Structure 1
Amino acid sequence: MKLHHRTILLTASALSGFAAAPAMGQSADQGSANDIIVTAQRIEQRLQDVPVSVTVFSQETIDNNAVSNIKDLAQYTPGLQVNNRYGADSTNFSIRGFTQEQRTTATVGVYFADVVAPRGSGASFGGDGAGPGALFDLQNVQVLKGPQGTLFGRNSTGGAVLLVPKKPTDALEGYVEGTVGDYDLFGVQAVLNIPLADTFKVRLGGEHKQRDGYLRNIGNLGDGRYGNKGMGNLDYWTFRASIVADLTPDLENYTVATYTKSKSNGTIPKIIEAFAGVNASGIPFGDMAVSQMAREAAYDPWTVSNRLPDSQSTIEQWQIINKTTWQASDNITVKGILSYGEFRGKTNLDLFGNYFLNPNVPSGTETSGSQVTGFAFTHINPYTGLTNAQSTFVGELQVQGVSTDGRLNWQVGAYSEISDPLGKSGVQTATFSACNDIDSYDCPFTVLPNYFAPGVNGFFSFGSINGQLSSTKFEDYAVYGQASYDITDQLKFTAGLRYTWDKQTTDVQQLRPNLAGGYYTCGAPIGVSNTSGTTVTSATRFPISTIYDGCHDIQSKSSKAPTWLIGLDYKPMQDLLIYAKWTRGYRQGGLSIFSPDTTQPYDQEKVNTYEIGLKSSWHGVIPGSFNISGFYNDFTNQQLLLGVQDLIANADGTPTAPPSASIVNSGSSTLQGFEAELNLRPFEGMRISAAYGYLKTKIKELTAPTFAPGSPYDTVTLPNVGDPIPNAQPHKLTLSANYTLPLPESVGAITFGGTWIYTGKFRSVADSCPTATTPGCPTLRDSSGTPYVLTNPGAGIVPSTNVLNLNLNWNNVGGMPVDATLFVTNVTKEVVYLNINENTSRGFRSALLGEPRMWGLRLKYRFGQ
């Protein structure tokens, strides 16, 4: 069975080639959608001729809207949503409700220069996306919605985001750009294009940006590793070099090399709701969360309390992409791709935003983490120094052809992707603990005498730590083919088929130190000791001095599946396209490597997508375009992250095991809706656009995980059948208007623009206490001493938001090659919740906050042609 793997790999490695991407936001001087050329089907086509739901952003649109990070694209794209719980450096996407959970592979492939982003290793989010600095000097950005598994590299169920960099040109040209703004924003960007010969062209570019954090930390332990600059700060460098060499008139070689390094203090959630009271046993409940909210109430909404002195979010990523295009004949083109990249990440973050101060320590005088308890935080494993460390090799071969009469277009190809660990990586997670130094396990078990006294705000630290190390290898291989045939001049039939083989292999160590006893036991994976080779159980004790010598557990998970596309296009006239298609999507199964016992392996998920769409454009008095698509997704074996916990605790109230989570194939769901985009030019200089997306999701079936005999876990938090899929936005509306003043060329082009974005409320997570009969919901006493069960229905729902962004652009200032832009984002200072941590059952809720109002000024000097 391994012969086909080797054949595909060797064949794909033989050549290296090019594939492009699509575009939505047109620049002010563009005419209509007919002018936009995209490659959503790996061949160049007009946007309006592509039977795919595509949103395209030009570089000008990105710059005018101050989109500095790829996460910002989600604001402007109906159907596209971002998860940046682990900071802007570790962003992943969902499209049309196909969300990626931690410890699963991406539902949306992010491609740069036609190559999928390097993978992360799975300990936490990281890799699989585009980090800071990816959005400069681009031809366009294209968001493809729905499964793209027939033609695009890695299989995914949600869609693809394509970043197309500008290739070297024949002109000696370039630009230098500087940016300043509030929060000490400073940025510089430069690009130089050099045609060294008619057949050899080079393009060099780089960008640096830094900005203080928008989250004000009122904790007394510092903002993080990179200084007291606030949480959510920016500081990155990125460099890019491109070379085009025309080896012969029919053979082009194109190489792109990128390097990015980013370091910040990271972002943490803010407590947005807390519940104070005394439970039926007289133990105070939620008092410390209420106290924290009170400390933050004197400041603006963007206030948090950081309990990690070395909080950080750091990535380093580089990648080399080589593509070769051979025009073998007038009708056949051969393209190949070779790519190698590495991703390394470091993450120290408080995941819930708790800062429970020891009541014996006056606020503002705390000096160490041993005086502050949190719910849970994740920290770099000191034995590796990295939370993510992975390399990714990609090889692809593609052959495209067209019949002599032009009625048949076809392409076939082979794909290989091998992602190897760069050594071990991992985290240490502390739960309900106050730690001086988690690296040395200085997280003492401490319960002050007054903690269990009725009505007293006590202090606790259970000293609970999980240590995790892993190394993961991914292997992905595929063969594919697709063809389109013009049945008539107006009617076209398309069919494509792909078969994919995927495999994940992981060596994992999960440990639970007993700090008081001086030993550790194996955690969730029960495996074989690395030193003795003997079988161990969860009760086997090892000395802490040899903490990472034992407890290895090696598992593999393989999956394979066919995916396909069947479509019909009808063009009754030149600028009108009606299409219908049926697409099968697939996402590989894998291992939830840090989950409890038998819940680690999970199966592949698949989706049948049915879509109809219309694309139209027109000239005349009011030129414009209108695109609309409707879709229905039948989703089976969906991969959901479900919380597991131990509700049968020890006699002193401490849990026998810390809370954890598992990936579970939940059964089936439906995702349906429509998306529409309208662009108009009502009069000279005026551009108006509107985009709306509606999404309705429903969980039809759920399957709870089973726990191995003797497992300390006894409860799983399940969403309800009939509930929407978490993190699926049902409504998003974007309205934009730009007006260019009628001024002579000697003055330049001055454009006023604005964008209003409405996002409807959506469910982020399941409610932990929706009813009085929900297991684990606390019983409290009211002021009269009468007991009641705390309920909080709707606590996992993110409220709706309205965000307004404005910009003023002056291109060719005074007829010179100088452009100036003034931008203001979130003009009304809307408080935006990006997600919810729903912990009503533990006395609080917290949320990750979006950015407040920010402004900046950008100047660009252009030279050359």
Structure 2
Amino acid sequence: MSARNFRSRLTSSVAVPAIAFAGLTATPLMAQGINPDEIIVTARRTEERLQDVPISITVFSGDQIQKRNIAVASDLAVFTPSLSVNTRYGPEKSTFSIRGFNQDASTAPTVGVYFADVVGVRAQGGTAGGNTVGAGAFTDLQNVQVLKGPQGTLQGRNTTGGAVLLVPAKPTDLLEASIEGTYGNYDQKRVQAMFNAPLADTFKVRVAIDRNERDGYMKNHSGVGPKDFNDVNYFYGRLSVVADLTPNLENYTIFHYSRSDTNGYASHYEFCDSNPGDPRQINPATISPINPNGSKYSISRYYTSLAACDQIARQTARGDGPLDVDVSDPDPRMFLRTWQAINTTTWQASDTITIKNIVSYGEYREQSQFQLYSDNFTVPDTAITRYYAARRGPQIGQPFDYIQLGTQPGHDAAAESTTTEELQIQGRSADGKFNFVVGGYLEFSRPLGYNQQRTGIYGNCVDPGVLNCSGGLPLSDSAPIPGTIISESRTQLAFDNHGVFAQGTYRFTDQLALTLGGRWTFDKIAGYSESNRRVFASVPSVGYVLSNWVCNDNLNHATVNLIANGGDLTACGTRITVKSNKPTWLIDLDFKPTPDTLIYAKYARGYRQGTVNFTNPGLETALPEKVDAYEVGAKLTFRGALPGYLNVAGFWNDFSNQQVFGALIPKPESGLVGGSAIINAGKSVIRGVEVDAGVTPFQGLRLSAGYAYLDTKLKDLITPTLSADSPFLQIIPRGRIGGPLTYSPKHKLTLSGDYSVPLGDNVGELNFGAVFTYTAKQFVDGNLQIPGYSLLNLNAGITDVGGSGFDVVVFAQNVTNKHYRTTSGGGYDSSGIGDFMYGPPRMYGVRLKYAFGR
């Protein structure tokens, strides 16, 4: 086999044919009028026709991704039924949910995100981050495949929800280049460029870059810090090299880098606890079977609840809308850097055996400083606050922060490296009836120093990272003097995820096939923590002084005094190791009564590893969870006068030992401000239907629809019993028995269409596109529900204007300027704050692209 033929075999089979205006709608590829026979996916680690794969998949072309301005992972969820996203800490740090399987806090992903067959670089800092691709990674892609349901048999990590596969455009034999510029409202400026060159018959390179800036749409009215939040500011670059070492041996190397530096997110306040009760008395709201005698709400919750009410009153007096915020952080920043090198060697050992080795190394680093609850608080004026003020407590109107995260000089909030090695043997029998994939997988994630961040709590901090704070709230009922807690998160986490796998398909006839797959995964998390906290107090006649310095883990290190031992943090040292190993499997039966009809039924076992989180003494670990997934589906292709397709899948999942988020209410004397434990408290049933359909009524018009119905129900919710010496008073798990899971809208719909009109030779082609999406109401914090919303996106353009090589497109997203909530801060139980994050308002602009050599 010649090198050129080998390259053609590897690349042309996955190429999507270029058509006019492809990608101006973010619908499945077939809706663009593309022949379904030519849509190739790699969902089962080999190249197959989309319509032959017994998996519910949504596929997007690279043009579709580009023209929909999808730049970070969260953007993808807008257009994909069954895919939801949690943007609690901003879009760059979002986590995916498919079919109701959510990732909370520091847990492992339920949805794996893969770039060039390699999982995203792992990270586990104080807030969600890592485990995905960096901003801009969606530029110059061949396609994106969203796989629904457990994919743990063949994918690198075990996941319960599914996988998102990003397939980058591969270097080709063509000398080509393009440059594209976008200008839009909110002063958006984006430049993308691509250059591809065959430097020799056996050596090709491809370079892609993406630079994107946009002002934030959440406007800050505090007069302190930046004027806006939820801005965009990233650079992304990629270098790809293909070298044909021999006619049957190909080496493919990718290096990509992402750098995002923004003001971060901000939330809008919408309700508060206006009657938090006297912190000196028992509050009836705290009486429960776990706590039958009730308790006092902490004095800090009293202050934060009423300060939140004051902030809402200021918003109302100004006439603020949902996109107006009031944040007093003087210098917020979300600075994320990700890079990854991937090398894939493919050896065509024979006509029936292919050996592939994939090795990668990547790093994720994060420096972040922001207010967790977007506050601008001052001490409220009530009889109780005046009582404390008269006893040298904080004075009425004095500013204070609730929880302000700061970057400690010389350290990262999260810093982790990930190395992966995967060996695959792909083969088929001589008669073509049996094909298989077997292999092994190694993944090592190691800390790059400590995940270290200082958080100012209840104080008035310029920068808690350098301990620059003053003032604060009463430290306790008995000590009403103002004080600030500086909590220092100082952890290291190492992850090992290894596995061996095999999957094969045997075709009894041309119509009937059976697929069996299995994987045994071995997981380990080894964590070490030296987390601690300082308490600064405004002591009369002395000033603002360090009054206490202890370990955060006051359950296991209650007697440690770090002031007395000179700040020796090893005295707070805690090591925790969690191991698990589990099998997962797949049984699938396919029936093809005609070449254009696939009917399948399958059963799969999915599993997600446990977790370690040092911030919750006594509740640091959670065990793995598992799911038994059942699915039946049909894929139909129509030809002739009305070509199109219809794909339908119905699924039922039994979900057990579920990892559930639980809000922690601390004891008033603990010195803690709360927490977010992961507990194995749940058992759920998840069922639903997914439909993808497309049709080309006549030349130039393409219509498609995608719909997902999702019915989730939490069957059991068993809260762990707290020990008598626990620093926490109560666990409030997210959710309620009989209620739905979070980020699980019952209905999600996408309708799209585009129309192309040739304008004549050397004139160009006129194109129109529209996408309508609807997302039903959903719970985002167990007890908080956000309303449903619909979005309309429009675009129009001319390709190859006058034969010049220029394309021009005008676009508008969220045309009707809907103000829609996306998630909640989730702090009502511990702080009395009800705040929400909002999606982007109307965004519009113009895009100009020039393709060299067209």
Q: Same fold (TM over 0.5)?
A: yes
Aligned-partner residue type, residue 760 of structure 1: A
1:791-806 to 2 correspondence within 5 Å? Answer: 796-806=784-794
CA contact (8 A) 1:65 1:807 kept: no
Aligned-partner residue type, residue 514 of structure 1: V
Counterparts in 2 of 1:115 and 1:19: CA distance versus 1, 3 Å: farther
Q: 1:667 aligns with which of 682, 685, 696?
A: 682
CA contact (8 A) 2:144 2:164 kept: yes
Listed one character per residue, the Cα deviations across residues 457-482 of structure 1 (whole Å, up to 9, x for unaligned) are xx996523321111111011100001
What is the total number of aligned residue pairs between the two structures?
785
CA contact (8 A) 1:686 1:740 kept: yes
Deviation, 1:712, is 2.3
Listed one character per residue, the Cα deviations across residues 299-344 of structure 1 (whole Å, up to 9, x for unaligned) are 3321111221121111111111000110000000000011001110
Deviation, 1:445, is 5.1
CA contact (8 A) 1:583 1:608 kept: yes
Residue 600 (structure 1) aligns with: 620
Residue 839 (structure 2) aligns with: 850
Task: Answer yes or no: is 1:380 the counterpart of 2:396.
Answer: no
Counterparts in 2 of 1:538 and 1:628: CA distance versus 1, 3 Å: farther
Deviation, 1:693, is 0.6
- State the distance in 2 between where 1:519 and 1:284 align: 22
Q: 2:114 aligns with which of 105, 108, 111?
A: 111
Counterparts in 2 of 1:470 and 1:487: CA distance versus 1, 3 Å: same
CA contact (8 A) 1:474 1:504 kept: yes
CA contact (8 A) 1:19 1:39 kept: no
CA contact (8 A) 2:560 2:571 kept: no
Deviation, 1:444, is 4.0
Uncovered stretches (5+) of structure 2, i.e. residues with no partner: 1-9, 17-26, 281-301, 382-396, 538-545
1:505-516 to 2 correspondence within 5 Å? Answer: 505-516=526-537
Q: 1:295 aligns with which of 296, 314, 329?
A: 314
Listed one character per residue, the Cα deviations across residues 495-522 of structure 1 (whole Å, up to 9, x for unaligned) are 0010010100011122121223533111
Give percent identity, aligned residues only: 40
Aligned-partner residue type, residue 367 of structure 2: K
Q: 1:537 aligns with which of 558, 562, 568?
A: 558
- Give secondary structure in 2 for the equivalent of 1:488: coil
Deviation, 1:398, is 0.2
Task: Answer yes or no: is 1:322 the counterpart of 2:325.
Answer: no
Counterparts in 2 of 1:725 and 1:543: CA distance versus 1, 3 Å: farther
Residue 473 (structure 1) aligns with: 494
Listed one character per residue, the Cα deviations across residues 223-269 of structure 1 (whole Å, up to 9, x for unaligned) are 2xxxx4x2111111111111111111110000001111110000121
1:62-461 to 2 correspondence within 5 Å? Answer: 62-223=65-226, 228=227, 230-277=228-275, 279=277, 286-297=305-316, 298-358=319-379, 371-382=398-409, 384-444=410-470, 446=472
Counterparts in 2 of 1:436 and 1:190: CA distance versus 1, 3 Å: closer
CA contact (8 A) 1:698 1:724 kept: yes
Q: 2:712 aligns with which of 697, 704, 724?
A: 697
- State the distance in 2 between where 1:188 and 1:618 align: 40
- State the distance in 1 between where 2:15 and 2:334 align: 31
Counterparts in 2 of 1:401 and 1:578: CA distance versus 1, 3 Å: same
Listed one character per residue, the Cα deviations across residues 747-790 of structure 1 (whole Å, up to 9, x for unaligned) are 212111111111100111123xxxxxxxxxxxxxxxxxxxxxxx
- State the distance in 1 between where 2:810 and 2:84 align: 27
Deviation, 1:21, is 8.9
Listed one character per residue, the Cα deviations across residues 360-417 of structure 1 (whole Å, up to 9, x for unaligned) are 9xxxxxxxxx9533432333244x5311100000000000110010000011000000
- State the distance in 2 between where 1:497 and 1:761 align: 37
Aligned-partner residue type, residue 705 of structure 1: P
- State the distance in 2 between where 1:846 and 1:284 align: 16
- State the distance in 2 between where 1:518 and 1:460 align: 12
CA contact (8 A) 2:134 2:259 kept: no
Counterparts in 2 of 1:280 and 1:500: CA distance versus 1, 3 Å: closer
Deviation, 1:553, is 0.6
CA contact (8 A) 2:31 2:695 kept: no
Listed one character per residue, the Cα deviations across residues 415-453 of structure 1 (whole Å, up to 9, x for unaligned) are 00001100111222333333233134344454599x99x
Aligned-partner residue type, residue 643 of structure 2: P
Aligned-partner residue type, residue 645 of structure 1: I
- Give secondary structure in 2 for the equivalent of 1:268: coil
RMSD: 2.5
CA contact (8 A) 1:375 1:431 kept: yes
- State the distance in 2 between where 1:746 and 1:295 align: 59
Aligned-partner residue type, residue 414 of structure 1: G
Residue 283 (structure 2) aligns with: none
CA contact (8 A) 2:66 2:138 kept: no
Residue 754 (structure 1) aligns with: 770
Deviation, 1:274, is 3.2
Residue 649 (structure 1) aligns with: 668
Task: Answer yes or no: is 1:715 the counterpart of 2:717.
Answer: no
- State the distance in 2 between where 1:181 and 1:446 align: 43
Deviation, 1:526, is 5.3
- Give secondary structure in 1 for the equivalent of 2:100: coil
- State the distance in 2 between where 1:431 and 1:586 align: 37
Counterparts in 2 of 1:259 and 1:460: CA distance versus 1, 3 Å: farther
Aligned-partner residue type, residue 259 of structure 2: K
Listed one character per residue, the Cα deviations across residues 86-118 of structure 1 (whole Å, up to 9, x for unaligned) are 222212211111101111111111111111111
- Give secondary structure in 1 for the equivalent of 2:75: helix
Counterparts in 2 of 1:600 and 1:22: CA distance versus 1, 3 Å: farther
Aligned-partner residue type, residue 826 of structure 1: N
CA contact (8 A) 2:685 2:714 kept: yes
CA contact (8 A) 1:520 1:544 kept: no
Aligned-partner residue type, residue 439 of structure 2: G
CA contact (8 A) 1:86 1:349 kept: no
Residue 754 (structure 2) aligns with: 738
Counterparts in 2 of 1:168 and 1:66: CA distance versus 1, 3 Å: same
- State the distance in 2 between where 1:461 and 1:692 align: 55
Residue 519 (structure 1) aligns with: 548
Uncovered stretches (5+) of structure 1, i.e. residues with no partner: 1-16, 361-369, 453-458, 528-535, 768-795
1:833-848 to 2 correspondence within 5 Å? Answer: 833-840=821-828, 842-848=831-837
1:18-33 to 2 correspondence within 5 Å? Answer: 25-26=28-29, 30-33=33-36
TM-score, scaled to structure 2: 0.88
CA contact (8 A) 1:826 1:853 kept: yes
Deviation, 1:20, is 11
CA contact (8 A) 1:27 1:61 kept: no
Q: 1:609 aligns with which of 629, 643, 649?
A: 629
Aligned-partner residue type, residue 454 of structure 2: Q
Aligned-partner residue type, residue 599 of structure 1: L
Deviation, 1:70, is 2.1
Residue 832 (structure 1) aligns with: 820
Q: 2:591 aligns with which of 570, 573, 593?
A: 570
- State the distance in 1 between where 2:116 and 2:125 align: 24
Residue 771 (structure 1) aligns with: none
TM-score, scaled to structure 1: 0.87
Q: 1:582 aligns with which of 578, 585, 603?
A: 603
Deviation, 1:284, is 8.2
- Give secondary structure in 1 for the equivalent of 2:524: strand
